[in-house]
């Protein structure tokens, strides 16, 4: 979401509410996996959007994106996915132009079940992907997991931001970190306080407490991090035409640790590999 500074009133979820958010998050992950599997040269983003819309209906869920106006007077968002190809960073409106071999595609997707939202994004290649593009996506994905793994009850939002930034800056290649958009709180609405920036300092920002749910979503480019908006008022592109990647997960701080609500395994593998506490709630 766009950077903004609201007075933070952070919604804390009960265990039962977290279980509901897990249902939404699980479906988000399943639909993203289906979209990724359906993507191929010759398939258009608009067809992928239709697949996601059908699966939302099948799952008894409601799109978080369709009709969304950002609260900023933007035209209502016209699709259930954001599909951002190559130099598009985020908020790409699914296009009719078919995907081609070598495209780097980011799909951002959110829905609610029973009023509880999940939001997640993945990046993947179509056909054969140039190694630098594959590396860009992997750096972005790794930064997202580094950020999530840095969260703990009693810590600060800045711990997440600093971990995302450090993860990206620590690589051999020089990447652009997009700082005009941030992650966000999420729950009974898709976008809630606090903002979760992708750059920052540990120990700063809102305190992390039990029952908080956050979406961490780094956006990284192969060039400059400067952005521009297309005439459709939604699609955010790199100014220099460089290719961008975007990964996002929604996670919860539970009494037991971290629970990545939009990951199929709840985040167990990636959190454990990073020494973070995997803390799902039982039924
Ligand atoms: N997941 C996106 C974000 O957090 C939301 C896309 S805006 C929409 O920025 F209009 F497409 F919904
Ligand atoms: Co988001």
Ligand 1 atom closest to the Cα of residue 82 is 11
Pairing of strands 116-125, 104-113: antiparallel
CA of 256 to the centre of ligand 2 (A): 24
CA of 21 to the centre of ligand 2 (A): 14
Do 84 and 232 touch, CB atoms closer than 8 A? no
CA of 256 to the centre of ligand 1 (A): 29
Residue nearest to atom 8 of ligand 1 (CA): 65
Fold observed for domain 15-273:
Creatine Amidinohydrolase (3.90.230)
pLDDT along the chain (283 residues), means of 10: 69 98 98 98 98 98 95 91 98 98 98 98 98 98 98 98 98 96 98 97 97 98 98 97 99 98 98 98 86
Q: State the pLDDT at residue 5.
A: 59
Ligand 1 pocket test: pick from 88, 109, 119 the residue with the most ligand atoms within 8 Å of its Cβ: 119
CA of 217 to the centre of ligand 2 (A): 6
Cis previous bond, 194, omega within 30: yes
Pocket of ligand 1 (CB under 6 A): 1, 65, 68, 77, 82, 91, 108, 110, 119, 184
N residues, the chain? 283
Q: State the pLDDT at residue 251.
A: 99
Ligand 1 atom closest to the Cα of residue 215 is 4
Residue nearest to atom 4 of ligand 1 (CA): 1
Report how far residue 229's alpha carbon sits from residue 89's, in angstroms, rounded to the nearest whole number. Answer: 10
CA of 66 to the centre of ligand 1 (A): 10
Q: State the pLDDT at residue 30.
A: 98
- Cβ partners under 8 Å of residue 31, min gap 6: 52, 55, 56, 59, 109, 111
Query: How many angstroms separate the first and last alpha carbons of the chain?
Result: 31
Q: State the pLDDT at residue 9.
A: 86
Residue nearest to atom 3 of ligand 1 (CA): 1
Ligand 1 atom closest to the Cα of residue 2 is 9
CA of 82 to the centre of ligand 1 (A): 7
Q: What is the pTM of this model?
A: 0.97
Residue nearest to atom 12 of ligand 1 (CA): 65
Q: State the pLDDT at residue 72.
A: 75
Instruction: Count the neighbouring beta carbons within 10 Å of the beta carbon of residue 64.
Output: 23
Residue nearest to atom 5 of ligand 1 (CA): 1
Q: State the pLDDT at residue 165.
A: 98
Ligand 1 atom closest to the Cα of residue 79 is 11
Instruction: Count the neighbouring beta carbons within 10 Å of the beta carbon of residue 154.
Output: 10
Q: State the pLDDT at residue 263.
A: 98
Report how far residue 276's alpha carbon sits from residue 259's, in angstroms, rounded to the nearest whole number. Answer: 10
Ligand 1 atom closest to the Cα of residue 183 is 4
CA of 65 to the centre of ligand 1 (A): 6
């Amino acid at each position: 979401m766009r950077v903004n500074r609201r007075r933070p009133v952070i919604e804390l979820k009960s265990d039962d509410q977290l279980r509901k958010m897990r249902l939404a998050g699980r479906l988000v992950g399943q639909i993203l996996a289906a979209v990724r599997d359906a993507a191929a040269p010759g398939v258009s983003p608009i067809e992928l959007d239709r697949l996601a819309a059908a699966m939302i209906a099948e799952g008894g869920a409601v799109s978080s994106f369709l009709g969304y106006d950002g609260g900023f007077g933007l035209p209502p968002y016209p699709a259930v996915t954001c599909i951002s190809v190559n130099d598009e960073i985020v908020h790409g409106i699914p296009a009719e132009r078919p995907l081609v071999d070598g495209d780097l595609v980011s799909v951002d997707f959110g829905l609610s079940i029973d009023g509880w939202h999940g939001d997640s994004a993945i990046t993947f290649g179509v056909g054969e992907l140039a190694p630098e593009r594959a590396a860009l996506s992997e750096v972005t994905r790794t930064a997202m997991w580094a950020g999530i793994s840095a969260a703990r009850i009693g810590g600060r939002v800045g711990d997440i931001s600093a971990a995302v930034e450090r993860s990206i800056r620590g690589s051999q290649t020089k990447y652009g970190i997009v700082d005009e958009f941030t992650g966000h709180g999420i729950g009974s609405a898709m976008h809630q306080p606090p903002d979760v920036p992708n750059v920052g300092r540990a120990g700063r920002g809102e305190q992390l407490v039990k029952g908080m749910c956050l979406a961490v979503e780094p956006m990284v480019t192969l060039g400059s991090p400067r952005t521009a908006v297309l005439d459709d008022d939604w699609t955010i592109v790199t100014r220099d035409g460089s290719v961008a990647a975007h990964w996002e997960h929604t996670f919860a701080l539970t009494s037991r640790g971290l629970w990545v609500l939009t990951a199929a395994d709840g985040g167990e593998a990636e959190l454990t590999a990073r020494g973070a506490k995997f803390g799902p709630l039982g039924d």
